[in-house]
Amino acid sequence: MQVSYTLLMSNPKDAEMEVSSVTRPSYKVYKRRFWGLAQLVLLNIVVSWDWLTFSAISGTAAEYFNVSESAINWMSTGYLFAFCVASPFVIWVLNKGGPKPAIIITATLLLVGNWLRYAGTKANGGIFGLAMFGQILIGLAQPFCLCAPTRYSDLWFSDKGRTSATAVASLANPLGAALGQLIDSEWASKPSDIPDMVLYISIIATVAAIPSFFLPAAPPTPPSASSDIPRTPLIPATRALLGTVEFWLIFIAFSIYVGFFNSVSSLLNQILEPHGFSETEAGIAGAILIVVGLVTAAIISPITDRYKHYLGSIRVLVPIVVVSYIGLIFAPSSPAGIAPSYVIMALIGASSFALLPVVLEYLVEITYPFSPEIGSTICWTGGQLLGACFILIQDALKDGASASPPFNMHRALIFSCVLCAVAAPFPVSLGLFGRVVTRRRLEIDRGVELQEAESTRQESGDGKKKDDSGSNFA
């Protein structure tokens, strides 16, 4: 393809020279990209499985360690707070080194954390503090692999596969949660089974972590035009991002919805148990949440890759999320038994999982040429921080022994419903009220802004450029 554009020479006279018949470079994707994607999937599965290891069997774990269920909740809460502590370093590692260093750090912390956790369950009949320390180390590992998918897909994939790649790697995290909900309750049906359960998970984590050290760092050549253009430096990009209205419209809803997904996943057994449902039934409900969500995302993500209808999907899926959380208030107490809870879990999973990769990729599109990990890591950190806060708040809202039924979480579910409804207008209002939101990265890849891309390449280190919505992008 032949194109013409003007370049400014950097000399005292600011002379211009016309460059014509420039051949646009060709770009290529490599099959080896799927090896790194598969490794991200494995790591995200294991770290999420580790997150809910004890929450999925909260009553059994509390009996084994001789602590309260609220103390067991801290196994999940501390994990989420550890995510927030690690996040600034995660942004720096992904920005400066790319996905591979982040993957290696994940694997290392995963190995150490899992075996310390096993020691904490095996030694002296169970040492809760040691098990908690191992859990926190795994929590420090999680952001390195959970925040990497947008960076990895941007580095290795073209616009024809980015959303699907981000979906596969990101949604592996809740798949791990589903495995934890289902399998852990089978492996630890009584307190004495817990050390063996943690041993099995530690062996799986070891097998999953080892390939991380042998992955290629980057493709030999860029997969697309947008990947070939230098990105805005980290500090100016972060400063400009935080001053952009569209980022906050996404961040607020993303953080709240991810936070409640984390909270409900952690407390699902305690939500259902007061109504006479077993840990196994709660595990099945958690698995339905994940499996239906994964199937839905597997359908929606390739369609989004093809048609790029990010904003339309957001405006359809967000109201479904809100309606699902309204239904969760009434499902556990339904006279129809466990079935309504299964249906609501399916709706929450389908809407939330389909929404997640669409929002993450849309955020990258509208904030280009910022590096993808900046916005995604900040959003994930907000979700994990609120998730930890929501677990504590919802646990505090649990009714007492005199309630009907005792220890029910009806008030906690009302709390989740109200906040989800309050958050809904923010992402739905994207592109309204006179603000134009442009899919900047896609336009570069399709050659719509080739001349502008060259300008960005020259100015990325020291200039600022105004986007169509009026926001400043460095």
From 99, 232, 226, 209, select the one nearest 158 (Cα to Cα).
Answer: 226
Find the mean pLDDT for residues 261-289: 87
Q: Is the distance from CB of 265 to CB of 52 less than 8 angstroms?
A: yes
Q: Which residues are 7's β-sheet partners? A: 17
Of the listed ranges 72-76, 249-253, 351-355, the one predicted with least confidence = 72-76
Looking at the domain assignment, is residue 86 inside a domain? yes
Mean pLDDT computed over 434-462? 59
pLDDT bucket at 24, cuts 50 / 70 / 90: low
Are the C-beta atoms of 177 and 290 separated by less than 8 Å? yes
Residue 32 lies in a domain: no
Residue 45 lies in a domain: yes
SS3 state of residue 225: coil
The pLDDT-based confidence of 30 (bands split at 50, 70, 90) is confident
C-beta of residue 272 within 8 angstroms of C-beta of residue 285: yes
- Tokens, residue 321: 């999320």
C-alpha distances out from residue 117 to 165, 226, 302, Å: 31, 43, 39
Lowest mean pLDDT among 123-132, 153-162, 242-251, 439-448: 439-448
Model pLDDT, residue 471: 41
Instruction: Kindly tell me if the per-residue pLDDT of 218 is higher than 60.
Output: yes
For the ranges 94-98, 156-160, 409-413, the lowest mean pLDDT is seen at: 156-160
What is the mean pLDDT of the segment spanning 419-438? 87
Residue 133 within a domain: yes
Split at pLDDT 50, 70, 90, the class of 328 is very high
Q: Is residue 21 part of a domain?
A: no
Average pLDDT for 344-360: 92
Compare 129 and 439 and report the one with higher pLDDT: 129
Mean pLDDT, to the nearest integer, of 91-97?
A: 93
Task: Count structural domains, the chain.
Answer: 1
What are the b/e assignments for 186-200, b being 16+ CB within 10 Å? ebbeebebbbebbbe
The pLDDT score that the predictor gives to residue 437 is 79
Question: Residue 383: its pLDDT value, please?
Answer: 92
454 located within any domain: yes
Structural domain range at position 374? 37-473
CATH (domain of 163): 1.20.1250.20
- With a threshold of 0.85, does the pTM exceed it? no
d(CA 89, CA 148): 13
**Which pLDDT value is given to residue 434?**
66
Q: Which range has highest mean pLDDT (155-164, 223-232, 279-288, 415-424)?
A: 415-424
pLDDT, residue 447, reads 67
What integer is the mean pLDDT of 146-156? Answer: 90
Instruction: Establish if 405 belongs to a structural domain.
Output: yes
Lowest mean pLDDT among 54-58, 221-225, 392-396, 470-474: 470-474
Question: Is 305 within a domain?
Answer: yes
